[in-house]
Structure 1
Amino acid sequence: MANPDAPLTFTQAAEAFLASKLEEFGSDKHKLQWRTSLEQFAFPIIGKTAVRDIGVGEILRVLEPHWLERTETASRLRGRIEAVLAWARVKGHATGDNPARWKGNLDAILPKPTKVAESGNWPALSLGDAAQWFRALQMREGMAARVLEFLTLTAARSGEVRGMTWEEVDLEARLWTIPAERMKAGREHRVPLTDEALAILKAQTPLNGSPYVFWATRGGMLSDMTISAVMRRMHESEVKAGRPGWIDPRSKKAAVPHGIRSTFRDWAAEHSEFPRDMAEIALAHRIGSDVERAYRRGDMLEKRRAMMREWGAFIRA
């Protein structure tokens, strides 16, 4: 039996809110979307947290891993969390400003959804610049630089790397298994680890009280902006030295962390020994129809391991 004096958790608040408001949402599809988005993205992060203890930091932990790559989904999720926390405040379970509010709050931290949606493909490094850029990155110190280095070696998304926990890593098997709830496609994804990627992990010192491999100063998850700042400073250093900087050859814009996956994809496309599907699986993209995916039992793990070794050799040339 629940303790009536215990503080209300976010999951409890969401369930109570949905019980009272679901009938107003119209279609069954809309109702399902509301519940599913909270269950998939919010509950695993803040579900057990008392609503009175949820601040902007907790909201960012939920939103940041998805804001740049699943902007529409993340924007809707933010609004739903705001509604739940507004209900909790009216009911007296929390006080103060709503930490999920956009205007005058999160809009000062996160990029505007319309600006992100308009950005299209992320500016990427040219293949000709990749190795020189990577050498410059390895000379940089700090946790964010190591995240960017590991992200490059694995072709993983920023949020996947920043949210990595030690429980997901099997150093002996040289394997990183990302659970479905942290993946854009909602499916578990296995990442083979090369010697270079393993070396980065083994050099990391676990922080007491933090589950993250790459932890922020107070033990939480590093922000996406922290990683982007490393790449921006690298570009600015090149420009200051009188060089062009790290520029996307197509858009002529400075390359960003999210564009590294495109650089990897361009590299894989130039190597006929690596089938297209294998590169797409490495990027955790959906391949083929539902029927084709049902019959594809493997994820080419060992073949992808060889591919990632070749990719690592290319960027370290």
Structure 2
Amino acid sequence: MPVTKERALSPLFIKTAPVGFHCDGGGLYLSVRPLKAGDGVARSWIFRYRRHGRLRDLGLGPLSTVTLAAARERARQARQKLLDGVDPIEELIAARTAAAVSAARKMTFEQCAESYIEANRSGWKSVKHADQWKSTLLTYAYRVIGSLPVDVIETVHVMKIIEPIWKTKTETANRVRGRIEKVLDCAKALKLRSGENPARWTGHLDQLLPRRSQVAPVEHHEALRYAELAQFMVELRQLDSISARALEFTILTAARTSDTIGAPPSEIDLDQRLWTVPAGRLKGKKGARKRDHVVPLCDRALEIIGNLSIEGRRYVFASDEGAPLSDMAMLECLRGLRPGLTVHGFRSTFKD
């Protein structure tokens, strides 16, 4: 494109200037370029300078927005920066980068929580677990901190969520607190926030709220008396359903519900009369060292497995669709025989 000789441009000329670079002096140019689509031209201001032997063009804005006087002032400011040893283009890039970082740091709690759930979904044992996360955060947390940037959330916000339900829904409140803590820990790891976690219990919220045992004493699972177990088992064996067989097997092995419904055939060794639950499937304290749980199988337990024809199945106790039984299936079966009891309570009966 042709470049005019250095001379001051006039307001009239810049409106009708032909295609090319038209110099106003001091490194300021009016750039007139033909539009790619259709007729017409684009007119914009350029500040051209040389830095470390390299020719650089700094855009100062379109003529439709930036007047001749404003363009001259912007060019003057750019010359001043160069005089001070500052490259105006590098300064502009740095400013835009800082703005992008600042915008990233404004990720809201809800956005961060959704990201955390998706990142951990595959590692959770149950699809329902992710749904429970979303449900509790939606019900209790999002209305208070959902739209807040994660870097501004403080103890007062967490207390506004937790305190109203701490005495009436203690277990739910603690779950919500723990989930908020995990999301904020994740945000800190991503450098989206700094400082202490306002949802931390030990050494923090435990100084502001009463212990759970003070407001919600531990309620043990209702268990069947040992003397009544024999009659119960007779009644249970009369039921012809997969949930009844799963419940019977669970009682005979003193297992947890999750261990039974999630058991694949590969865990059962009929020849050795053993059921081996891998450490990865066992419930236990976080951080505790776990080992495989090996359960001897009595004659009746072996008979139950033998009658199910488990070869080719994905789960020993599967629904008609091949999926594992619902964690409520055995409980519903139990309610039909002994309302008020829990499946987990049979572990206490076993101890007795």
TM-score, shorter chain, exceeding 0.5: no
For the pair shown, which has the larger CA radius of gyration, 1 or 2?
2
TM-score, length of structure 1 as denominator length = 0.44
Report which structure shows greater RCO (CA 8 Å, sep ≥6): 1
Higher strand share: 2
Higher helix share: 1
